Amino acid sequence: MKSYLAAAIQMTSLPDLRHNLSQAEELIDLAVRRGVELVGLPENFAFLGNESAKIQQAAEIAAESEKFLKTVAQRYQIVILGGGFPAPVKDGKVYNTALLIGADGKELARYEKVHLFDVELPDGNIYQESTMIVAGEKKAPVYASEQFGNLGLSVCYDVRFPELYRAMTQSGANVLFVPAAFTAFTGKDHWQVLLQARAIENTSYVIAPAQTGQHNSRRQSHGHAMIVDPWGVVLADAGTEPGMAIATIEPRRLEQVRRQMPSLNHRVF
């Protein structure tokens, strides 16, 4: 594992596939110009704001998302995570799929989100992902990269389930992806503290791309894409506008924290 720059991209995706992919490439281009080699795009990067339209267009969104990720990975010679797009399964439902692509344009890892956001929030918004999304049945993957570390994949609501991240850490993960479209209501109280908790308890880097702003009249995301170090220090925060959080992933820092706080070696259960 080497020292390298990573970017957690922050977008305001809309129910417009072409617009969103264009916005994503602009931000990727800016990141690469700053020396970034590992890029994460948020959940629903390709389409957000109209769930029924997303399901109706799922086949096109999935095909175009995969094509886009493979194309930009090769064009910019980066490793890229597409943090979540709908991939058709059956009976009009989809997987919420995160896809990791190498600089040669080949698929490195794929993850179907296992925890579905079925929640009625105090602000009156109701989310029922299970009406349209099928929960994944495979454990979150860890892709071992000689250059970038052992990359663990998750999506948004997963961040509330620490056992998923501990399982990845036990499989060797030391860089954890948490791409999200966190709601504005829950994000203000829970987003940062959950990311810091996952980083601290697993003594791992956390790269958290995010959605931000207004996607339609009812859907608003919290923003604050972040990169957090293994001690829980927020290295970069993208705020509330489209952009990115960029920070150095440093193997010496990882080794230092795991040496000074060897909690992973003290597990009892």
Q: What is the pLDDT of residues 170-188, one digit of tens each?
A: 999 999 999 999 999 999 9
134/91: higher pLDDT: 134
Give the pLDDT confidence score for residue 194 in this predicted structure: 98
Would residue 149 be called left, alpha or beta, if left means φ above 0 and alpha means ψ between -120 and 50 degrees?
left
Going by pLDDT thresholds of 50, 70 and 90, the confidence category of residue 237 is very high
Active site residues: 43, 113, 156
Give the pLDDT confidence score for residue 15 in this predicted structure: 95
Q: Which of 2-11, 21-30, 87-96 has the lowest mean pLDDT?
A: 87-96
Give the CA count within 13 Å in the CB-facing half-sphere of 111.
29
Going by pLDDT thresholds of 50, 70 and 90, the confidence category of residue 218 is confident
- The yes-or-no verdict on residue 259 having pLDDT over 80 is yes
- The yes-or-no verdict on residue 250 having pLDDT over 90 is yes
Paired residues of 5 in beta bridges = 248
Give the pLDDT confidence score for residue 68 in this predicted structure: 98
What is the C-alpha end-to-end distance of the chain, expressed in Å? 29
Q: What is the pLDDT of residues 158-168, one digit of tens each?
A: 999 999 999 99
Going by pLDDT thresholds of 50, 70 and 90, the confidence category of residue 153 is very high
* Helix 17-33 with 58-76: angle, nearest 10 deg: 20
Mean pLDDT of the chain: 96
Q: How far is residue 74's CA from residue 77's CA, in Å, rounded to a whole number?
A: 5
Q: What is the pLDDT of residues 14-34, one digit of tens each?
A: 999 999 999 999 999 999 999
